[in-house]
Amino acid sequence: MPEEDNEDQPQPTPSPKGRRSSIGKMLLIVLLALISSAGGGAISFVLISRTLGAQGKPAEKPEKAEQEKIAEMLEKSAVIPLEPFVVNLADPDAARYLRIKISLMVDDKTKLKEVSENQALQLKVRDVILQSLTAKRSQDLINAEGKNSLRHEIQDKVAIYFLAPKLVDVMFTEFVIQL
């Protein structure tokens, strides 16, 4: 009957002082969590603001410097306009045509006459460009990404024939696809 003895004993009731101390501890913990969160948020805001501010200011200078560099390059450069190309595209389902005018930008306008009078160079450049154009389908060229890809492809293939002056850019001055 030892079990009965335990039932007869009064159960200890928590004292009001014990309840107050546990509620006080809970409030203290909640208060510390709120202060910690607010402090962390404030520190994050300050650090992010400084980072974005620091990134914004130097970005303006390189952009301006880049524009000046491009302007300087354009003053020294020359353009070699090529005769228009009219080619059949490689579309298997229908006959589609591309009419394109291409100009080549070189880095030294003092050598423009030499390049323009070099018939072998002119013919080789046209041959390389024709090979690139006739291998394309209209779907490859219909969007901006396709045109930029073609521009870079032509520049990579033609640049090796320009020792002095160097080829700087390939520009499309007309681009029409007959669908």
Q: List the structure tokens of 59.
A: 């970005």
CATH number of domain containing 93:
3.30.479.30
Domain presence at residue 173: yes
Domain ranges, residue 70: 16-75
> Which position has the higher pLDDT, 123 or 71?
123
Same domain for 129 and 166, yes or no, is yes
- The distance between the two most distant Cα atoms of the chain, rounded to a whole number of Å, is 122
> Which pLDDT does position 75 carry in this prediction?
79
Domain presence at residue 99: yes
pLDDT band of residue 32 (cuts 50, 70, 90) is: confident
User: 44-87, pLDDT tens digit by residue?
Assistant: 777 777 777 655 555 455 677 777 777 777 777 888 899 999 99
Domain presence at residue 2: no
Same domain for 85 and 70, yes or no, is no
Where is the domain boundary, 48, 75, 102? 75
Same domain for 51 and 86, yes or no, is no
> Which pLDDT does position 6 carry in this prediction?
53
Q: Which of 26-30, 42-46, 74-78, 115-119 has the lowest mean pLDDT?
A: 42-46
Q: Which residues pair with 87 in a beta bridge?
A: 98
Residue 177, classed as helix, strand or coil, is strand
Residue 47 carries which side chain, given as an amino acid letter? L
Q: List the structure tokens of 8.
A: 């007869």
